[in-house]
Structure 1
């Protein structure tokens, strides 16, 4: 596949982008480079290669959820700049 000016103009229209003549030429070259790179990848022999599900061999170390000591309402609100009985007061951000 060869990317030309017409294809770039169509893609730009669909993407709601505007390119001047110089940028359009750069885009044609860049897109052709990408298409050629993908064509190179298609030539790689992957026979017998298992697909990857993860990029590394690392695994998550899961732990059991345990109930731990938490602070009380009074302690949580102790240093609050503004509070209203049991709640933090914050500036209104939505109407």
Structure 2
């Protein structure tokens, strides 16, 4: 499939884009290259090939699952000391939904 100059002008008009004749010719070339690439990709036989999450079979390295934080209760108390209102370790906020 390839576009014509009139089709490029029509698309530009529908998109409310002002386009000069030079830009129209340049855009026509770019769009036809894109359509050519799409046609090449559609011509590839993918029968029997399942979908992939990634092009390469890779595994992500995971870090060790161990505790790295210090005493959370002391940190929570320090953070809540500057809060306007707290109760039972929770921050109190104004009700915004009836």
Q: How many residues align structurally? A: 79
CA distance in 1, matches of 2:34, 2:2: 11
CA distance in 2, matches of 1:58, 1:26: 40
- Greater than 6 Å deviation, 4+ residue runs: 73-76
5+ unaligned residues in a row in structure 1: which ranges?
77-84, 88-95
Tell me by how many angstroms 1:34 deviates. 1.1
CA distance in 2, matches of 1:65, 1:16: 57
Larger Rg: 2
5+ unaligned residues in a row in structure 2: which ranges?
84-98
**Partner SS, residue 38 of structure 1:** helix
Do structure 1's residue 68 and structure 2's residue 64 form an aligned pair?
Answer: no
RMSD (Å), alpha carbons: 3.2
Tell me by how many angstroms 1:39 deviates. 1.2
Query: 2:33 — aligned with what?
Result: 33
